[in-house]
Amino acid sequence: MMINILGLDPQLALNFADSLVETNNGEILLEILLDCTDSAARSHIGDLFRFLLCMVKGIEREQLLGDDHHNTVSAKWLKLLVENLHVRAAKSWARFDKYLELYYSFAVETEQDVLDSMQNIQGVSKLVEGKECRIGLEYLFKVGVLE
């Protein structure tokens, strides 16, 4: 239901994604991804976050590939993920699957890829050819995540 609503309005998706990372320094995002012991809830909300991050990446594609990438919502999300990888995520190693999937989704997936994976639709991989893959991987390399 949330994915349907967010998919209708790019500005709503940007505002929602920004509020998740800005409110209490992204604590709600981290609590759900790393501390939630309910695996079904963590999985479903993690998929929502994956969809949201891919959507935001698509909206911000020009900024991400330009010099103004530091001010994007995508950059805020990735900064939060990177800053918490070595300590907080490492402590939650048994539950950090969706946390790590955010990196993967940002790097190579589109919103449709996330929706397909949620429905277990297997298709021919478009990863190498996709424009979204170029945006995600190039940005992650530019900011030093893929070094």
Going by pLDDT thresholds of 50, 70 and 90, the confidence category of residue 34 is very high
Token pair of 120 as six digits: 């277990």
In 3D space, the residue among 80, 72, 67 whose CA is nearest the CA of residue 29 turns out to be: 80
What one-character-per-residue DSSP string does 61-114 give? HHHHHSTTGGGSHHHHHHHHHHHTIIIIIHHTGGG-HHHHHHHHHHHH--HHHH
pLDDT in tens, 101-144: 999 999 988 888 888 888 875 554 444 456 666 788 788 878 87
For the chain, what are the domain ranges?
2-142
**Cβ–Cβ under 8 Å, residues 78 and 135:** no
Residue 147 has pLDDT above 50, yes or no: yes
How many CB atoms lie under 10 A from the CB of residue 35?
Answer: 13
Average pLDDT of 80-90?
90
Helices 39-59 and 131-142: angle between axes, nearest 10 degrees: 90
Reported as a single tens digit per residue, the pLDDT across 7-30 is: 889 999 999 999 999 999 999 889
pLDDT at residue 93 above 70? yes
Collapsed DSSP state (helix, strand, coil) of residue 9: coil
- Report the pLDDT averaged over residues 38-43: 91
The verdict on pTM exceeding 0.85 is: no
d(CA 132, CA 45): 22
Q: Is the distance from CB of 129 to CB of 77 less than 8 angstroms?
A: no
Lowest mean pLDDT among 26-35, 74-83, 84-93, 111-120: 111-120
The pair of three-digit structure tokens given for residue 80, joined into one six-digit string:
């939060």
Q: What is the pLDDT of residue 113?
A: 87
pLDDT in tens, 54-71: 999 999 999 998 888 888
Eight-state DSSP code of residue 25: G
